[in-house]
Chain A
Amino acid sequence: MTVPVHLRHDETFVLNLGPQHPATHGVLRVKLTMDGEYIVKAEPVLGYIHRMHEKLAEGGTFAQFMPNTARMDYLHALAFNHGWALVVEKAAGIEVPERAEYIRVITVELNRIASHLLWWAAFLLDLGGFTPLLYAFDDREKIVDLLERVTGSRLTYCYLRFGGVYNDIDDEFIAGTRDFIKRLRGRMPRLYHDLVTHNIILIKRIKDIGFVSAEQCRRYGATGPVARGSGIDYDIRKNEPYSVYPEFDFDVPVFDECDSMARYMVRMHEIEQSMRIIEQALDKLPAGPVMGKAPKVLKPEAGYYYSAVETARGSLGHRLVCNGDKNPYKLKLRSPTFSNLSLFGEVAEGMLLADALAFMGSLDLVIPEIDR
């Protein structure tokens, strides 16, 4: 015999989502106050994979921190390498040879595609679709193999050096990258768009769900695909150009719908734009050294330095304070998803739990990068 449960409307209960939950993709916990299936209050609880990278940075030299950078956003590790290299090069006044900058851009953009593919796979897995994961991982595997060839690792890269990169790329890498782009372009329309993007089940799950306004993005400091899905034309690669990005012709996809579908579309279009950048970089790849002159021991002038790069998830900033010593006096990492997640509580209010999970997936969370 079943007893019907009647919840009074002023009666709520607390539901713990995580820290071990497949939809949070890591150890994120969200304390949800529920009224039936509806969320009254959502409160993310952070810190389950906090490793205090900022203290580790203070304890070692500038170069010793490079491997740590890849262990934060392990899906777009090369962008974190790049951000750290750029801020230290700025502080210490190190010149980078042009070929090295081109190689940086090629590898960072390849890594961005891999990151978006993995997000796509995991997001659809959250929504109950298993097949896309197999396609995305097939393509991602090609990138990981290519990057393994030049960087020596498959996930947590430590490829960039102050003044260049660790290893030159060879003809096989170039040919492999061109093959990969050709292959992904061929697979994109049918396997990615026909099967998934235009799929009515997906559209029903994410269209008009998870509304994030442009003003909310500004108040919470959301950047990356989250901001671009809310009609904000902001990409560090265009707005505050660094490295050799100004030399390439590419677009910044912006969608005005502000919903989860818009964020989905931004990332799908970014894959194509990254491929365009890589192709142009391979065409224009200059000859020359891949390492410039950099002192063995770095002692940047005392002062305040800031540098930002566009990762797959948004604007990554390094606030570096130097006191003329051989290790950073203070390093603050402004990680994009820390700010992107902070608007979750406000947006999830009043949402159905299942919709909130789809919304959370559309934010593309990487927990080690939030917790640092």
Chain B
Amino acid sequence: MGLMERTQAALAKMFPQPASAAPPPAGEENQEAPPREQGILAVDPARHGCHLDVLCGPGQVVEVARTLDREGYFLEAISGVDWPDKGQFEVIYDYNRLGGEHCRVMVRALVDRGEPVVPTISGVFPAADWHERETFDFYGIHFQGHPNLIRILLPEDADFHPLRKDYMP
């Protein structure tokens, strides 16, 4: 069993109704498919740059991080995305392996734009500390349980979140 299959199997335990109900072939655009609630999708790394696309609820990000930590992954980055039309923020966690067999995992979680709260994973990966602060800085997404959730790149007296799509300087 390859690393990707092993990771997929480890993560699948978290999703009682896995995406295997109707998995589109690897690499196919998933835009046309009906929106997924959650689950794991294998995607074409040559096209999208990652092997697994995991969509989970905000409550599951810590468990996903713990699973990937056990599998020897490291956290590469956390990004926020603003979707004002859907009234949601998206938090994207990029995981990768330091050497050995290569596998990239993209974990996405959607949160309500009005009350954006996601639990912190800085307890699992200290790397998340600064990345979460940055996402808070730019989007105003609160990472619950973060030990030091203050601005990191913008001045400490800034009262705006510049990467929100409705931000006007």
Interface residues of A (CB under 8 A from B): 46-47, 50, 52, 54-55, 58, 87, 90, 214, 217-221, 223, 227, 232-234, 239-240, 301-308, 315, 317, 319, 321, 329-330, 332, 334, 338-339, 342-343, 346, 371-372
| Residues of chain B whose beta carbon lies under 8 Å from any beta carbon of chain A | 29-31, 46-50, 53, 72, 74-77, 79, 81-82, 92, 94, 96, 98-99, 102, 104, 106, 108, 125-127, 129-130, 138, 151-155, 162-163
Report how far A220 CA is from B96 CA in the complex, Å.
12
B102–A240 touching, CB < 8 Å:
yes
Report the minimal beta-carbon distance from A49 to chain B, rounded to whole angstroms. 10
| Interchain residue pairs with CB less than 8 A apart (6) | A47-B152, A87-B49, A219-B125, A221-B75, A301-B31, A315-B76
In angstroms, Cα B102 to Cα A278, docked, is 26
Q: How far is the CB of A367 from chain B (nearest CB, A)?
A: 12
Do the beta carbons of A221 and B48 come within 8 Å of each other?
A: no
Question: CB distance B126 to A304 under 8 Å?
Answer: no
Enumerate chain A residues within 8 angstroms of B82, measured Cβ to Cβ: 330
Asked if B79 contacts A338 (CB within 8 A), the reply is no
Known contacts A221-B76, A304-B50, A342-B126, then 8 further A-B pairs from the complex at CB < 8 Å, ordered by chain A residue: A55-B162, A214-B98, A218-B72, A221-B127, A234-B98, A302-B31, A303-B48, A315-B96
CA distance A301 to B153 in the complex (A): 31
The answer to whether A372 and B81 touch across the interface, beta carbons within 8 angstroms, is no
Contact residues in B for A334 (Cβ distance below 8 Å): 76-77, 94
Which B-chain residue is minimally distant from A223 (CB atoms)? B98
The 6 closest A-B pairs by CB, nearest first: A306-B49, A332-B79, A334-B77, A221-B127, A234-B99, A47-B153
Is the Cβ of B154 less than 8 Å from the Cβ of A47? yes
A221: chain B residues within 8 A (beta carbon)? 74-77, 125, 127
Residue numbers in A under 8 Å from B75 (CB-CB):
221
B29:A332 contact, CB within 8 angstroms? no
A249 to chain B, nearest CB (A): 20
Complexed CA–CA distance, A364 and B104 (Å): 26
- Contact of B49 with A305 in the complex, beta carbons under 8 Å: yes
Are the CB atoms of A55 and B163 closer together than 8 Å? yes
Measured CB to CB, the closest approach of chain A to B115, in angstroms, equals 21
Whole-angstrom distance from the CB of A348 to the nearest CB of chain B? 14
- The residues of A that contact B108 with a CB separation of less than 8 Å are 304
Instruction: Identify B98's interface contact among A55, A232, A338, CB under 8 A.
Output: A232
